[in-house]
Amino acid sequence: MDHFLYRDGILHAENVPLPQIAAAVGTPFYVYSTATLTRHFRLFDEALAGTDHLVCFAIKANSNVAVLKVLGDLGAGMDVVSIGEYHRARAAGVPGERIVFSGVGKTRDELRTALEGGIRQFNVESEPELRAISEIAAGMGVVAPIALRVNPDVDARTHEKIATGKSENKFGIPIARAREVYAEAARLPGISVVGVDVHIGSQLTELAPFRAAFTKVAELTQALRADGHQITRLDLGGGLGIPYTRSNETPPLPVDYGRMIVETLGDLGCEIEIEPGRLIAGNAGLLVASVIWMKSGEGRDFMILDAAMNDLVRPSMYGAHHDIVPVHEPLPGLEPAPVDIVGPVCETGDTFARQRPMPPLAPGDLVAFRSAGAYGAVMASEYNSRPLIPEVLVHEDHFAVIRARPSYEEMLARDTIPEWMA
Ligand code: LLP
């Protein structure tokens, strides 16, 4: 459920009509709903009520500091994968003790900065990383809390580019070697072993792969305890999928996911950490664009928008489906007709949808991409010298620009001409 509904024939974000935002900031833009973000965070928090837990929002899904503050103020922790994301979490007021640091390639500088600033736990993905953390922490005279990310060799049954839990993927330490690496961790100075971490992929639409991975984590935890390690936390990663179409997709609900976690891991008495990104932010955001031209081609019509693959790359990168709806509800009796919905970027891959039935629209009309709050703005680029588009946050009947559209002067000011050409 989200808070983007038609009222009097006009699509609203909470109580704000989208044309009002479009008039104020221009198109294209991203818009997020505070109420939907809040609701989705609470679904996870309540799914684990009764179990000691921390819901750490995966910042990679949506890293706007205002969005992070909405969640941080509700008590969310944060999962970061770069020191840039760490700075964003801190800027949103989230303390280090609620930030976990994941990622397969943390640099020494990043490790040091996180240790200086305070960190809840590093999710360690290799022996060299483990040794570097030990060296840096011991040198600073501090102890780094760590969990090892294990690779359980489980097929997440999702898009191959976002599956991470198979042995051929670059992520984690093979679960078969985990005891050996935990033994080394226990011997290293500056390291405190606190838990086990796993993340098998994103946009999972069934619980079975999670259950398979968590069952392996439960077995490993028992073995590690028998080896003498204090395992007090289990970080289960993110990955619960969302419905991208309003019709037939019904991924499992957070409450069922929570129940399955308790079933598979509840007996261990560990604190549970989860790292959802997409389910919290995805359906809490829209991308709003305008029609530039309608164009008739050979046997097909094109709807050319002012948003492009550089603003929302998911359709061209993963062949992902996003529902695209008119902001003004079509009058009854207007038949939808199939169109290719494209952006202005100079490649054929800049296609959002092929032969999508759409009501008749004209230049200047607004459309909204649903499910664009996660992996939307964060993956945008300035390809074709198209400045990054603004982000807007709605709260009831207010809205605020939470990232402004840069001017062309600002965009150009980042480049410099070397002295020898001046
Ligand atoms: N934790 C770790 C260690 C992760 O790598 C990820 C996502 C998450 C948590 C959050 O997963 P979520 O709950 O959002 O599924 N750009 C792709 C998605 C990449 C996901 C990468 N890792 C897309 O647009 O579909």
167-213: per-residue pLDDT in tens? 888 999 999 999 999 999 999 999 999 999 999 999 999 999 999 99
Question: Across all residues in the chain, what is the average pLDDT?
Answer: 96
Whether residue 346 lies in the annotated active site: yes
Give the CATH architecture of domain 34-279: Alpha-Beta Barrel (3.20)
CATH superfamily entry for domain 4-31+282-413: Lyase, Ornithine Decarboxylase; Chain A, domain 1 (2.40.37.10)
Mean pLDDT over 27-34 rounds to 98
| pLDDT bracket for residue 156 (50, 70, 90) | confident
Domain extent listing, the chain: 4-31+282-413, 34-279
Nearest-angstrom CA–CA distance, 54 and 194: 15
Q: What is the Å distance from ligand 1's center to 63 Cα?
A: 13
- The reported pLDDT for the residue numbered 164 is 87
| Active-site residue (options: 1, 49, 346, 422) | 346
- The reported pLDDT for the residue numbered 332 is 87
Mean pLDDT over 269-275 rounds to 98
- Among 380, 318, 387, smallest CA distance to 349 is for 318
Is the CB of 203 within 6 Å of ligand 1?
A: yes
Does 347 show up as a binding residue in the annotation?
A: yes
Decide if pLDDT at 341 tops 70: yes
Nearest-angstrom CA–CA distance, 55 and 69: 14
Q: What is the Å distance from ligand 1's center to 408 Cα?
A: 32
Ligand 1, atom 19, residue with closest C-alpha: 162
| pLDDT bracket for residue 10 (50, 70, 90) | very high
Nearest-angstrom CA–CA distance, 415 and 260: 52
- The reported pLDDT for the residue numbered 2 is 92
Ligand 1, atom 8, residue with closest C-alpha: 238
Is the CB of 373 within 6 Å of ligand 1?
A: no
pLDDT, tens digit, 9 for 90 and up, residues 282-334: 999 999 999 999 999 999 999 999 999 999 999 999 999 999 999 999 988 88
Torsion sign over Cα 195, 200, 206, 212: negative
Decide if pLDDT at 247 tops 70: no
Does 32 show up as a binding residue in the annotation?
A: no
Does 165 show up as a binding residue in the annotation?
A: no
Decide if pLDDT at 249 tops 80: no
| Calculated CA dihedral for residues 80, 81, 87, 92, nearest 10 degrees | -30
Report the complex ipTM.
0.99
> What percent of the chain stands above pLDDT 90?
93
Q: What is the Å distance from ligand 1's center to 301 Cα?
A: 35
8 Å CB contact between 349 and 310: no
